Amino acid sequence: MFSFFKRKERSLEPITFESLGCDMHSHMIAGIDDGSPDVETSVELVKKIHSLGFKKVITTPHVMHDFYRNTPDIILGGLKDLQGELKKQSVDVEVSAAAEYYIDFDFESKVDVGEKFLTMGDNQILIETSFISAPPNFGETIFKLQLAGYKIILAHPERYGFMSFEDLKTYKTRSLSLQINLLSLLGFYGKPVRLMAEKLIDNNMVDYVGTDCHNLHQASLYSKCFTNKYWHKLVESGTLKNHTL
């Protein structure tokens, strides 16, 4: 006789983000993109991320020609303000900054003239693109960045609806690293995004995870990952490199 009751899945012991060491994707510098609006909020975000187990934060403001024309001086000036407030409040967390660069023709022109970009770790640069369609110069810009000595991390590839799993496999063969968002595992951006993130984990293709934290609402959700089976699978995969940054 078949039971009409679904078997309850075994609950998992919580795993915090302590093993990651570093959150390498967030928007915590006040007032320069769609992330934190003010320094007070930035401090609260850093405190929350630290409470989840992260020991280090590399925050990555958007650099996007049409919307967020951030320069290294703007970003590092905002970082200095945040670091000063953290010190004033005795918040003992290492916070530094890189950037999340949007791939378009303006960015490619900066690569062409040898402009220096904000990076993390061993000259790793975090890039993103449109969620709707790839810019026609995407492949060429990647090639130029690599020729210039940058190691590319593609931000949240699971969110690009136009990118197939096969596309991402090809990017991996071209030495791109992939970074997924923690909230993707919770279905925050929708089911298709969650399924792609899970497929990448199933195939050991994830190199980094990040909070991509923009606000306090998002910050309140990350602990739900602690008992998520795909977060557990990702930790156990041994592919994550956050601790190297």
Q: Read off the pLDDT of residues 143-156 as tens digits, 9 standing for 90 and up.
A: 999 999 999 999 99
In the predicted model, what is the mean pLDDT of the chain? 96
Q: What is the dihedral of CA 162, 163, 167, 172, to 10 degrees?
A: 160
Q: Read off the pLDDT of residues 188-200 as tens digits, 9 standing for 90 and up.
A: 999 999 999 999 9
Q: Say how many residues make up the chain.
A: 245
This prediction's pTM:
0.94
105: left (phi over 0), alpha (psi -120 to 50) or beta: alpha
- What confidence score (pLDDT) does residue 61 get? 99
**How far apart (Å, rounded) are the C-alpha atoms in residues 86 and 43?**
6
What the chain holds in terms of domains, given with CATH numbers, is 22-237 (3.20.20.140)
- What confidence score (pLDDT) does residue 9 get? 55
Confidence of residue 58 (pLDDT cuts 50, 70, 90): very high
127 contacts 154 by C-beta, under 8 angstroms: yes
- What confidence score (pLDDT) does residue 80 get? 99
| Angle, helix 72-88 to helix 39-51, in steps of 10 degrees | 70
List phi, psi (to 5°) of 82. Answer: -65, -45
31: left (phi over 0), alpha (psi -120 to 50) or beta: left
- What confidence score (pLDDT) does residue 2 get? 45
In single-letter form, the type of residue at position 167 comes to: D
Q: How is residue 214 written in tokens?
A: 């923009």
Q: Read off the pLDDT of residues 198-223 as tens digits, 9 standing for 90 and up.
A: 999 999 999 999 999 999 999 999 99
Q: How is residue 92 written in tokens?
A: 């003992």
- What confidence score (pLDDT) does residue 66 get? 86
Residue 181, strand partner residues: 210
Q: How is residue 146 written in tokens?
A: 């690599």
- State CA 142 to chain mean position distance: 18
DSSP string, the chain: ---SSPPPPPPPPP--STTT-EE--B--STTSSSS-SSHHHHHHHHHHHHHTT-SEEEE--EEBTTTB---HHHHHHHHHHHHHHHHHTT---EEEE--EEE-SHHHHHHHHTT-----BTTTEEEEE--SS---TTHHHHHHHHHHTT-EEEEE-GGG-TT--HHHHHHHHHTT-EEEEEGGGGGTTT-HHHHHHHHHHHHTT---EEE--B-SHHHHTTGGGGGG-HHHHHHHHHT---GGG-
- What confidence score (pLDDT) does residue 11 get? 83
Q: How is residue 208 written in tokens?
A: 């980094």
Q: What is the mean pLDDT of residues 48-63?
A: 98
Judge whether residue 5 has pLDDT over 60. no
